[in-house]
Amino acid sequence: MRLDFKGFELKSLDDSQGEGVFSGYASTWDKDLYDDVIVKGAFADTLQHDFQGSGAGIPIHWQHKDDKPTDIIGETLSAVEDEHGLLVTARLDLDLPEGKRAYDLLKRGLIHQMSIGFIAEETAFVQDGKSSWDGYREIRQLKLFEISLVQVAANQGAEVLEVKSGRAISASNESKLRAALDSLHEVLDGIDSADKKPDDDTDDSMDDSSGQPDDSTDDPKRKNQKSFDPQWAEEYKTISDFFSLEH
């Protein structure tokens, strides 16, 4: 028997469950670039007998390396088959330089794919064309050994849904965020009130003699309307920076 590798894409980040945690699909039921299809149920036996039934404890490797202990950079917390594929949640070992580096790359989006290492135990050829050569290998049962973070994967269908940083909102950051949001709402309220006019209002904003908009500051709507001066821009930037992955 040979050890096969199938890769799947990591997709997005989140910070709701703890530092170093990520989740996503380590496998899908879609055909990969090698014309292989792993079918639903193929993981059932290995999850039950090799990984506590819950799929916990599957080693997370870096690029399928396995020649030294530090090549194992984490482990799964759970793995379950659903309608899309094998959904896993895993935690990287941030005490290892390799684990911390992999986590940093995930957060920056420079690594966004996974690959599984397994042995195909039960397969069948499925013909899907006129020729007897038109078809694909269907993998009906496999033995899973590891899941790796990789740069290039064979199957682009699966995706990491979340990478969790465990970042907490400090009191200082919360105050800044609330102040920035209040300021932004004030600006938007000013814009909304300036734009609202009765249906039977005539448009007095045009100068009949010049055909240009009247820039007079006597218009109360213009007096009340807020603009994005540097102070507003700085407060708006606070919101953007807070939600950025670099924050």
Domains of the chain: 13-164 (3.20.16)
Q: Summarize pLDDT for 110-161 with one digit per residue, the tens.
A: 888 888 999 999 999 998 887 878 899 999 999 999 999 988 776 665 556 5
**Who wins on pLDDT, 33 or 187?**
33
Give the pLDDT confidence score for residue 184 in this predicted structure.
63
- State the average pLDDT over residues 70-93: 95
Is the Cβ–Cβ distance between 58 and 39 less than 8 Å? no
SS in 3 state form for the chain?
A: CCCEEEEEECCCCECCCCCCEEEEEEEECCCCCCCEEECCCCCHHHHHHHCCCCCCCCEEEECCCCCCHHHEEEEEEEEEECCCEEEEEEEECCCCHHHHHHHHHHHHCCCCEEEEEEEEEEEEEEECCCCCCCEEEEEEEEEEEEEEEECCCCCCCCCEEEEECCCCCCHHHHHHHHHHHHHHHHHHHHHHHHHCCCCCCCCCCECCCCCCECCCCCCHHHHHCCCCCHHHHHHHHHHHHHHCCCC
**Who wins on pLDDT, 218 or 34?**
34
Whether 70 shows a pLDDT value over 90: the answer reads: yes
What's the whole-model pTM score?
A: 0.60
**Who wins on pLDDT, 57 or 161?**
57
Q: What confidence category does residue 46 fall into, taking pLDDT thresholds of 50, 70 and 90? A: very high
- State the average pLDDT over residues 237-247: 47
- State the average pLDDT over residues 12-29: 75
